[in-house]
Structure 1
Amino acid sequence: MLRASLLASVAATPFFITAATAQDYFDIGEIIVSGGLSPIEANAFGRASNVITAQEIERRGLTTVQDALRALPGVSVNGSSNSFTQVRIRGGESGHTLILIDGVEAAGGDGEYVLSGLQTANIERIEVLRGPQSVYYGSNASTGVINIITRKGAIGDTYTATLEVGAATTATAFVSRRTERGGVALSFSHLDDRGYDQSGDGGEKDGLERTTINLSGDYLLTDDWKVGFTLRGSDEEADTDPSPFGATDADSYVVDDPDEFSTRDERTASIYTEYEMMGGRLTHRLSFNKTKYKSTYSSGLPVTRESEAVKYRLSYGLDGRTVADTDHLLSLLVENKKDSSDDNPLYAREATSVALEYRGSFANGLDVQAGARFDDNTVFEDATTWNVGLSYQIPDTGVRLHASAGVGVVNPSYFELYADAYGYSGNPNLTPERNESFDIGAEFAILDGRGSFDVTYFNETLIDEITDVATGPGAFSFVNQAGKSDRQGVEVSGNIQATDALNLRLAYTYLDAKNPDGSVEIRRPRHELALGATLDTFGGRGSVSGDIRHVSGNYDSQFWQWPAPTVELPSYTTVNVAAQYELSDTITLNGRITNLFDDDAVDAWGFASRGRAAYVGISAKF
């Protein structure tokens, strides 16, 4: 159980947890930072979630966020090229998963965030919440949330640097200074990935280059008053290959072109202040977040999407104790959000939202989380969402039951509302898509607490899905469908410390995802299995890690035909291995091989996959 003083610190800074706190005082895996309007202990959290820590990222040789997510239950990561990777949770659309970086939306406006090129360097942890989270995060958190929390540094001065060469060259640096009252951290990463020919024609390699800089800081002005900020900038340029309209088969659908490229310029910023009253029984948090996301695709014109959000949160301990150690917590969120896109410069969207959350912990082992939210939208129909989570520890059994239910929403896009191009006309009368969901599961402690095993059944239904319809010869518009898209499945995860040196892990997802007409949803594998092991070697100075991933039952449309038939893709199995060895207390040697057996791991018809690739690197910390 977390000590009250430490939980108070975490609750006061829900998106800015310091590495010092994590390393020196408690196991950071015991809390879910993104679990609602404030952090919550994992064993009390009723909704399905996973956490990937910096230690796991390092030991498994995970250098990109998409690779880290591939081993999680309920999460499907599909790449159609070296520069375009989508993530889907529980079979939802890729734009139905909200991706945050330090609690700030990674993509502005109505754009989805493409994970390609996003490195794990200087990431403290990745939290994944499965199921609707719109009560806490609004639109696009319909099937889940991924919150990437960056490193903030330990108390004192911290300096680290890494260099890796091979199929790509990566360089990173991190510096921080922190005291008991706060600190500042600066991180840098640069990736030059030489890539591969995504057309599969044996032509020029489609590379990717990305540079990211993060600056963050926080400080306790008084024992009750804290201020902080985070700034992030990331620039990316990637080679792409076009898909010609005259293609007649998979080989001609994607053709080699050395002149095609895509770019991304990402800018995010957040400032916040927090204040405690009544001896910590009442807390306030006021923040301002801004995202500016500029991108081009396949040498097209740049599009800039922006979002701004002002949020105020009040939390109150109902039983007379502080917010940190109360058993009954009530939180209120008031938010105003604006977003815009220069592909429709005459229009913008704005919403004013109010959300309320209750959390209760009871002596019999039952924990309850319940929330509701109302969005007052200016340009389309208002939305009401809700979420309930239950967690129950069965006494003296090592078994925890958990269940959740809720509704999430996805707002209509600018193009769907206002389109006037390519034969499309927008429909300003569209309503938000709604995702209704429930899940139920059980977590078992095994081997005298050396491991755990979780099985969860989920059921989700997408209502009012927005789709395009023909309105005449060569003319199209958008409507909310009358039918329902049903998705259900089973998520299995396990982690066992088999011996003092050997750790084993497992993740499996079975998914049945159907369109309203009963056809299978594309790029949503029916079966995904991940098995992994990490062995400590050389008396703890080194480790060897291996991960196996199997994907089958994945369908995609063959878009070079009309009407495009949906056909099952070949199953594939990939193996990644990684090793590290501490040359000294400050220098570590690393090596890894991805796709060891050079399997054709194709996620989309016509797009080739990356073959075997090897890397070697060195890291230093002071």
Structure 2
Amino acid sequence: MSKVRLSLAAALAASPALAIAQDFEITDLGEIIVSGGFTPVEAQKYGRSVSVLTSEEIKERGITTVQNALRAIPGLMVNGSGDSFTQVRIRGGEANHTLILIDGIEASGGDSEYILSGLDTANIERIEVLRGPQSVFYGSNASAGVINIITKTGEIGTEYGGSAEYGTDGYRASARVSTRTERGGLSFSLAHDEDDGYDTSGDGGEEDGIRRTTLQLKGDYLVTDHFQLGFNVRTSEEHYDSDSTSWSATDPAGYVVDDPTQYADREERLAQFFAELDTLGGRLKHRLAFERTDYDSARNGGAATETKTEAAKYLLSFGLNGQPADDADHLLNAILEWEEDSSSSNPLYARRTNSIALEYRGSFANGLDLQLGVRRDNNSAFEDATSWNASASYTFAGSGIRLHGSAGTGIVNPSYFELFANSTFGTTTYLGNPNLKPEENRSFDIGVEVPFLQGRGLVDVTYFDETLTGEIENYVVNATTRSYRNQAGDSDRKGIELTASLDATENLDLRLSYTYLDATNPDGSVEIRRPEHELLLSATLQTFQGRGSVTADMRHIAGNWDSQFFGSYSTVELPNYTTVDLSAQYELNSNVVLTGRITNLFDEEYADVWGYAKRGRAAYVGIRASF
């Protein structure tokens, strides 16, 4: 929806790659996209399709979970079987084609798809969503796009604060503290959610709740004026309930069955350590980072599946025109990466990838900005892959109208099971195929950003066209055996993304987000769980002379299809639905804010997945403090 405006000091906190000497004058960089390349990119120069949801907008709209925050972003299809299993599809891509990062670190280890559930927004600075292939910068699983969840670091001085909320469906609490000088700082945060949930079967039975606790500690320090060290450690534990399904059901009401015995546990651990060095007066910069993600999950008290990803990355940034790399009109970034992942589900196998990538960025006097990139992945367990991208942004002098467009490719690696399976279920044996190729997504988009009413309003319209080639499918080898292969034919996805914002009056802000999507399989059939139409209308009214605000969000979904695992076992269109959420806040004083919200105001009965009910009306009150 909106883009975030960051000063150089704030950008330093969000991305240590912007480390500066202590005596460097702090200047305003304008809007930047931290995740837009190997180093941050000014938004006005960025040609790819991006949305940024800021912490202020998250607070105004009363959003408490990341999955609900993403429902405001055009081009994203957010749906799931209850709130404990939420998937995100970007521009109609598969859910595992979206790479989710936390502070630039992969949120899920191994070949696991990251499932959004109770991920809290309390200590999030902003969420950046990059649509279209991003494999040049982020490797596999970024073929449809990237979601980077950036947490708070704190500004110079000592800050602390927290929040608490209680409502009809549970409570949540958070706390944070940070201290920072010109040379670096530390920040610590805690968030705990106790969501009582609701019955996903829709039968009024046992509530399927979510309990999640997250701790995070990160810091950085400028050892000399040109050498910086830093770290980021995060851990989460989650327990959530679910229900069973009935293969003998004949309708949606009978498919999901209330079952208090079903539950799951997850543990997530992220760690990053980095060092940065400026040489040649800042013209040549070096960054070395080590990252690790552990992601463990277990169902009903059984043995956990443990997945792990480890990576080492060396980034070199060089200002080509004699300027410091952070300010260069012509910049070359080069990166070397080593990554290895593994899973306890296939303990004899691991996947290793060695990668090299180059990025060029150029800004020209006529208002044209270019970004070009190429990446080569050498894979140990399957075929190597090459990805590329190119984007351009052109701003017309005087009018502020900006054209932007991009093209490129992205890849998704085969899973462990698809590569190495040798398992029998009942009378059927599944065999892996080590000759699989990575799936490839080819894409282009073009759009225009138009300011109006003397800058009080902004409209951005983007057309996109994407083609998925070599999608991996299972097939029948013989009466007792199935295996995997790269599918013949292409899956096509095209559509339009529209965002608009308007400062209608001094006290009223209006926002609009709309996506039209046409997504089909190689045989021409419709892709499931990808709504044809998604519309969000949002309005924020400032009240009490700016001390308070009220926000209303209306979301409409139409043309969403899903496979029925009951009755006719066919793919059928789900009913259209419209939901309305309200939130309000009031500043009791300069440090303490009273909050309230109502979700699903009109108690709409709806579903994103056949048979799974969604939450009815719920109300909450809370308090937020910062010092």
Q: Note whether the superposition's TM-score is higher than 0.5.
A: yes
Q: Give 1:179-194 correspondences, 5 Å limit.
A: 179-194=181-196
556, 576, 599: which is aligned to 1:571? 576
- 2:613 corresponds to: 608
* Kept after mapping to 1: 8 A contact 2:187/2:219: yes
Q: Hey, what's the Cα distance between the residues in 1 that align with 2:471 and 2:461?
A: 29
Q: Hey, what's the Cα distance between the residues in 2 that align with 1:82 and 1:37?
A: 33
- 1:98 corresponds to: 99
- 2:595 corresponds to: 590
Q: Amino acid of the residue matched to residue 64 of structure 1? A: T
- 1:554 corresponds to: 560
Instruction: Using the TM superposition, give the Cα deviation of residue 247 of structure 1 relative to its aligned residue in structure 2, in angstroms.
Output: 2.8
* Kept after mapping to 1: 8 A contact 2:7/2:28: no
478, 485, 493: which is aligned to 1:487? 493
Q: Which shifted more, 75-84 or 384-393?
A: 75-84
- 1:533 corresponds to: 539
- 1:356 corresponds to: 358
Change in Cα spacing, 1:156 to 1:11, as seen in structure 2 (3 Å) is closer
Q: Hey, what's the Cα distance between the residues in 2 that align with 1:17 and 1:582?
A: 34
> What SS does the corresponding residue of 1:316 show, helix, strand or coil?
strand
TM-score normalised by structure 2 residue count = 0.95
Change in Cα spacing, 1:116 to 1:282, as seen in structure 2 (3 Å) is same
Equivalent pairs, count: 613
Q: Give 1:78-477 correspondences, 5 Å limit.
A: 78-166=79-167, 167-297=169-299, 301-421=303-423, 422=425, 423-477=429-483
Q: Amino acid of the residue matched to residue 576 of structure 1? A: D
> What SS does the corresponding residue of 1:221 show, helix, strand or coil?
strand
Instruction: Give CA deviations for 1:266-298 in whole Å, capped at 9, x if unaligned.
Output: 000000010000000000000001000001246
Q: Hey, what's the Cα distance between the residues in 2 that align with 1:590 and 1:427?
A: 54
* Kept after mapping to 2: 8 A contact 1:133/1:145: yes
* Residues 1:478 and 2:484 aligned together: yes
* Residues 1:498 and 2:498 aligned together: no
Change in Cα spacing, 1:544 to 1:29, as seen in structure 2 (3 Å) is farther
511, 516, 538: which is aligned to 1:510? 516
> What SS does the corresponding residue of 2:44 show, helix, strand or coil?
helix
Change in Cα spacing, 1:505 to 1:8, as seen in structure 2 (3 Å) is closer
Q: Hey, what's the Cα distance between the residues in 2 that align with 1:488 and 1:296?
A: 37
Change in Cα spacing, 1:618 to 1:362, as seen in structure 2 (3 Å) is same
* Kept after mapping to 2: 8 A contact 1:294/1:304: yes
Change in Cα spacing, 1:47 to 1:106, as seen in structure 2 (3 Å) is same
Change in Cα spacing, 1:276 to 1:13, as seen in structure 2 (3 Å) is farther
Change in Cα spacing, 1:192 to 1:6, as seen in structure 2 (3 Å) is closer
> What SS does the corresponding residue of 1:203 show, helix, strand or coil?
coil
Q: Hey, what's the Cα distance between the residues in 2 that align with 1:9 and 1:611?
A: 39
Change in Cα spacing, 1:257 to 1:104, as seen in structure 2 (3 Å) is same
Instruction: Give CA deviations for 1:469-493 in whole Å, capped at 9, x if unaligned.
Output: 1112242111101110000000000
> What SS does the corresponding residue of 1:118 show, helix, strand or coil?
coil
Change in Cα spacing, 1:338 to 1:215, as seen in structure 2 (3 Å) is same
> What SS does the corresponding residue of 2:68 show, helix, strand or coil?
helix
Instruction: Using the TM superposition, give the Cα deviation of residue 395 of structure 1 relative to its aligned residue in structure 2, in angstroms.
Output: 2.0
Q: Hey, what's the Cα distance between the residues in 1 that align with 2:301 and 2:579?
A: 32
> Which residues of structure 2 form unaligned runs of 5+?
1-5
Q: Which shifted more, 33-42 or 293-302?
A: 293-302
Q: Hey, what's the Cα distance between the residues in 2 that align with 1:16 and 1:538?
A: 41
* Kept after mapping to 2: 8 A contact 1:241/1:298: no
* Kept after mapping to 1: 8 A contact 2:17/2:39: no
Q: Amino acid of the residue matched to residue 378 of structure 1? A: S
Q: Hey, what's the Cα distance between the residues in 2 that align with 1:84 and 1:433?
A: 24
Change in Cα spacing, 1:241 to 1:300, as seen in structure 2 (3 Å) is farther
Q: Amino acid of the residue matched to residue 387 of structure 1? A: N
Q: Amino acid of the residue matched to residue 324 of structure 1? A: D
Root-mean-square deviation over aligned CA pairs: 1.8
Identity of aligned residues (%): 59
> What SS does the corresponding residue of 1:81 show, helix, strand or coil?
coil
- 1:37 corresponds to: 38
Q: Amino acid of the residue matched to residue 528 of structure 1? A: E
Instruction: Using the TM superposition, give the Cα deviation of residue 82 of structure 1 relative to its aligned residue in structure 2, in angstroms.
Output: 2.3
> What SS does the corresponding residue of 1:493 show, helix, strand or coil?
strand
Instruction: Give CA deviations for 1:385-417 in whole Å, capped at 9, x if unaligned.
Output: 000010000222221000000000000000111
TM-score normalised by structure 1 residue count = 0.96
* Kept after mapping to 1: 8 A contact 2:14/2:150: no
* Kept after mapping to 1: 8 A contact 2:29/2:42: no
> What SS does the corresponding residue of 2:205 show, helix, strand or coil?
coil
